[in-house]
Structure formats: C-alpha cells, structure tokens
Amino acid sequence: MITIETISAHVHAGQRITSDEALFLFRFNDLLAIGELAALANERKNGTNVYFNVNRHINPTNVCVNRCAFCAFSRTSGEDGAYTLALDEICKRAHEAERDGATEVHIVGGLHPDLAFEFYEETLRAIRSTAPRLHIKAFTAVEIEYFSRIAGLTVEKVFERLISAGLGSMPGGGAEILVEEVRQKICPEKISGSRWLEIIRLAHRAGLKSNATMLYGHVESTADRVAHMEMLRTLQDETGGFQAFIPLAFQAENSDLKLDIKGTSGIDDLKTLAIARVYLDNFDHIKAYWIMLGEKIAQVSLAFGVNDLDGTVVEEKIGHDAGAQSPQSMTKEGIIRLIRKAGKVPVERDTLYHPIRSY
Ligand code: V47
Ligand code: SF4
C-alpha cells in the first residue's frame, strides 16, 4: 500500500518513486510534507544554490497557423495585432541584450505561413554576428518540425543547418501535456506528444541540450500530469539531454478554452513543482517561471524543491497576452534579492548551467 511514509522512505534512501506514488502525492493534502521531500531531493542535487540567468526573450512573430485553444499570443495572418519583426529589429534587441549584460537570448514564435526556413537561419547568423557573446536558445520542437515540413528537409538536417548558423540549445515549449486525448482538446493542430518526444530525442542526439515544460491547470487531470512527467523521465533516462523541467501555470484570460476556473491556485503551483522535484530524479533543475507564477509564489517555491528562477526576460508576450499579472521583466538585483530573502545563495549561470558568479 502507498502511504506518505513509504514514499518518504524511498526519497530518504535516494530511490526513484513510481508514477502511482506521484499520483498519490497529487491527491495528498499535506503540502508541507510533500515540500519537505522535495526540499531534501533538491538539496542533495543543488545544496543551497539557486540559479538565475540574465536573458532576453524575443518572439519574432505571433502569426501562427496552429491557433492552439489555450494560446492568447497567436494571431492569424492579417488579423488585428498580428506582427512580424524585421531582422534589423531582432538584431537591435539582441544587441541591447548583450550590451546590458545578458548571456542568452530566448527566441520562440508562431508558425508563420509565409516565412521560409532560410529566414530562421539568417536570424541566427545575424544575431551571431551582431551579438557574438550571446548564447542562442531558440525554437521549440513544434517549430523544428514545422521547419522540416516547409523546407522539405529531415529533422536531422534542420538541426545540422541551425547549429551551423548559431543555434546553441532549445527551450522546452510546445510540450503542453503530452497525453494525446488532452492535446486533442487544447491543441489539435499541434504535433503529437510522441512526435514532440521524437524531435527532442533527435535534438539531444545532435548534441543540443533542451528543457521540458508542462502546461498545467486547464483540462488535464493529475494522472495526465504524471503521465506527462513519466514520458519525460523515460526519455531523459535514454538521452540525458534535458536540463530543466518547467511547469507553466495556465493563464486563462483571452484564451479560447472555456473553463470555470481562472488559473491555478498557489497550492497547486507549489505541489506541482514539489512533486516534479521528487519524481524527476534524473533532471538536475526544476525551474519556477516567475512570469506565470507571480514573483511571490516563485519565491516561496524555493522552499519546495525549486532551484532555478529563470531570468530577467525583459519583454514577455506569451503569458501577458493571456493576462499574467507579473511584471514584464525583473532586474538582476530584483532576482538576487528575492533569492537571498528565501535564505538561498543566488548564482548567476549561463544557459548550460556553468556558474558565472555567486552573490
Ligand atoms: O509552449 C502558451 C505556454 C510556452 C499560455 O525553456 C502558456 O527555458 C500559460 O516554453 N498560459 C512557451 N502558458 C514558453 C516556454 C518557456 C518559457 C520560459 C522558459 C522556457 C525555457 C520555456 O508557453 C508554450 C505554451 O506551453 N503558453 N499560452 C498560457 N495562456
Ligand atoms: Fe502557435 Fe505556439 Fe500559440 Fe500554439 S502555442 S498557437 S503553436 S504560438
């Protein structure tokens, strides 16, 4: 029989917990008991260090052929509010980022019906020459699959060309919930969960590190969340290419998903992060994306197994178009203060988790 005591014994002994045990934790009400286990699992991996990076997000276009039901960011071509940044503007933002001390640009966008694959290669090349010190973390598995379709190239070839143009690693978006029945409800046009996993497998084989996200707090069940994490844990056993797991709290405003709830609760946010820390024993980092969580829950999550607070971001569109109440960006000093006040040691890192400086 599964009890909190048997799970606790596994965690204390450094053993992996099962999917049934993770599900038990989702249905268990003692948040602090779960948090304690997560804090222990995290402390073993990361001590008291909490990572952040100085980065800037750039979303080259919000025009997207997919129009996922949860996404308030995307537009159809020609619709009010649709935009596509010129290459010059993208380079200007990358240049400003480098000038202001960023070490990373994070680039994701919609699946544009008219832009050619060469535009994305050119974007990488142009950033590399304008801001050579920046690491370029770009394109979700969903975009990579789209590039392979529009260019008529294999996914392997797409990776080869993007890496040669300057791609350094991949963010974790597009995973949503990998369970097919859920995808049919929230993003029927998007690549399947198994295709997402396959593209990431190929990315890792090509030598790229990536993250993995989970969009939660909409139509999915807690069993779906566990199934999602199980798929990630299995792939990580095979490739070891994931760096961070990032649960993304659903922002409900302006979304086409007709739900009774208007977003996640603080308890659910903390529980989800803590269970992820305990269950994903082969992931080094659990990231609290403060943009979706709000700064206060993100800070409290540092006592619930989280060891990464993402970055300065500078300009955020995906969550804010969907009603996120957090600011658009945080200063480096703001992030450092937030981590210190949680009794942890702030460590600025680069994209690949090499420490740059402790504060
Ligand atoms: O894939 C879209 C999500 C993702 C909403 O890898 C929404 O370091 C909440 O992946 N409410 C893109 N989420 C963002 C992303 C990300 C963010 C920060 C860091 C990293 C990383 C990756 O945003 C999409 C989708 O899952 N999203 N709409 C919404 N209404
Ligand atoms: Fe397009 Fe991504 Fe938004 Fe889906 S989540 S509509 S793929 S931009």
| Residue 142 CB–ligand 2 contact under 6 Å | yes
Helix (H) or strand (E) holding 49: strand 49-53
Ligand 1 centre and the CA of 91: distance in Å? 23
Helix (H) or strand (E) holding 155: helix 155-165
Residue 262 has pLDDT above 80, yes or no: no
Whole-number mean pLDDT of the chain?
A: 97
N- to C-terminal Cα separation, the chain: 45
Q: Which whole number is the average pLDDT over 199-228?
A: 98
Q: How do the domains of the chain map onto residue ranges?
A: 4-343
pLDDT at residue 329 in the model: 84
Ligand 1 centre and the CA of 19: distance in Å? 24
| Tokens of residue 127, six digits | 């950033």
CATH superfamily of 4-343: Aldolase class I (3.20.20.70)
> What are all long-range contacts of 233-240, with beta carbons under 8 Å and residues at least 24 apart?
233/279, 233/280, 233/281, 233/282, 233/283, 235/197, 235/200, 235/201, 236/280, 236/282, 236/283, 237/282, 238/201, 239/200, 239/201, 239/204, 239/205, 240/204, 240/282
Residue ID of nearest Cα to ligand 2 atom 2 = 110
Q: Which whole number is the average pLDDT over 9-28?
A: 98
**Number of other residues whose CB lies within 10 A of the CB of residue 16:** 14
Residue 312 has pLDDT above 80, yes or no: yes
| Residue 69 CB–ligand 2 contact under 6 Å | no
Ligand 1 centre and the CA of 6: distance in Å? 34
Q: Encode burial over 271-307: b for 16+ CB neighbours within 10 A, e otherwise.
A: bbbbbbbbbbbebbbbbbbbbbbbbebbbbbbbbbbb
pLDDT at residue 259 in the model: 82
pLDDT at residue 258 in the model: 76
Residue that the structure tokens 């996200």 belong to = 213
Tell me: the pLDDT tens digits for 69-122?
999 999 999 999 999 999 999 999 999 999 999 999 999 999 999 999 999 999
Mutation choice for ligand 1 from 196, 213, 264, 286, CB with most ligand atoms inside 8 A: 213
Residue ID of nearest Cα to ligand 1 atom 28 = 71
Q: Note the ligand closest to the C-alpha atom of 187.
A: 2
Cα 72 to Cα 108: distance, rounded to the nearest angstrom: 15
Do residues 123 and 87 make contact, with C-beta atoms less than 8 angstroms apart?
yes
Q: Which whole number is the average pLDDT over 222-229?
A: 98
Cα 307 to Cα 313: distance, rounded to the nearest angstrom: 18
Ligand 1 centre and the CA of 287: distance in Å? 12
Q: Encode burial over 104-137: b for 16+ CB neighbours within 10 A, e otherwise.
A: bbbbbbbbbeebebeebbebbebbbebbeebbbb
How does DSSP assign 243-292, residue by residue?
EEEEEEE---TT-S---SS-S--HHHHHHHHHHHHHH-TT-SEEB--HHH
| Tokens of residue 233, six digits | 């844990």
Amino acid at 141: A
Q: What are phi and psi of 229, to 5 degrees?
A: -70, -30
Cα 55 to Cα 63: distance, rounded to the nearest angstrom: 23
Cα 43 to Cα 289: distance, rounded to the nearest angstrom: 20
pTM over 0.95: yes
Q: Report the nearest atom of ligand 1 relative to the CA of 215.
A: 26
Ligand 1 centre and the CA of 314: distance in Å? 15
| Residue 66 CB–ligand 2 contact under 6 Å | yes
Ligand 2 centre and the CA of 83: distance in Å? 14
Ligand 2 centre and the CA of 74: distance in Å? 6
Q: Is 304 helix (H, G, I), strand (E, B) or coil?
A: coil
Tell me: the pLDDT tens digits for 21-74?
999 999 999 999 999 999 999 999 999 999 999 999 999 999 999 999 999 999
Cα 245 to Cα 305: distance, rounded to the nearest angstrom: 12
Ligand 1 pocket, CB under 6 A: 70-72, 108, 140, 171-174, 176, 211, 213, 215, 246, 248, 250-251, 255, 289, 292, 310, 318-319, 322
